Amino acid sequence: MIAIIDYDAGNIRSVEKALNFLGQEVIVTRKKEQILGADKVILPGVGSFGDAMDKIRQYGLEKVIRQVAENGTPFLGICLGLQLLFESSEESPGVQGLGILKGRILKIPETEGLKIPHMGWNTLKLQGNGRLFRGLPEDPYVYFVHSYYLQAAEEEIVTAVTDYGIRIHASVEKNNVFACQFHPEKSSSTGLAILKNFVEL
């Protein structure tokens, strides 16, 4: 059973549909017992960092998410779900993130010819043996929608980068915690392969 954490953020249903397509049993929930009892847990999300952290705290999910990470359960953050795992974001000054991983979320700088938000397909440069990318071709193409990007404090956890006027840490992996800034559920067969790698961990 895979638990998708429901904290009123967008994009939950498309993640659920992609996992159903892969034949997985999925529950969308904010119940502590269901999240802690799941084989794997996903934190998706589209929206603002501050609003999302408010909802996570309002629903009493902060401690639950930390417990999942500490228990060794495979955990995947997607898009905003990646950003929330880190310490802070320029989008919401003064708001503390989950701080499960070390690093900051920064605004993509205004660069001539590049639109913000960054919406569209970009190539990933794989940085070693990230388990989410097992069996994928070199330089896979995935779909992004974001105005803020990750600068991880620990370079060794970065498993993929992309360029959009600046070098973006696009995916990370540390022990049982995985996260990607792009949307695997919107990234066609490549994204499904990434999700399949996660469910097969």
* Active site residues per annotation: 79, 183, 185
| 16 close to 28: Cβ distance less than 8 angstroms | yes
CA 81, 59, 95: angle at the middle one, nearest 5? Answer: 55
| 109 close to 165: Cβ distance less than 8 angstroms | yes
| 96 close to 53: Cβ distance less than 8 angstroms | yes
15/20 Cα distance (integer angstroms): 9
CA dihedral 88, 89, 95, 98 (to 10 degrees): -40
| 138 close to 160: Cβ distance less than 8 angstroms | no
Residue 187's CB: how many other CB atoms inside 10 A?
A: 22
Cis peptide before 117 (omega within 30 of 0): yes
Sign of CA dihedral 91, 4, 167, 98: positive
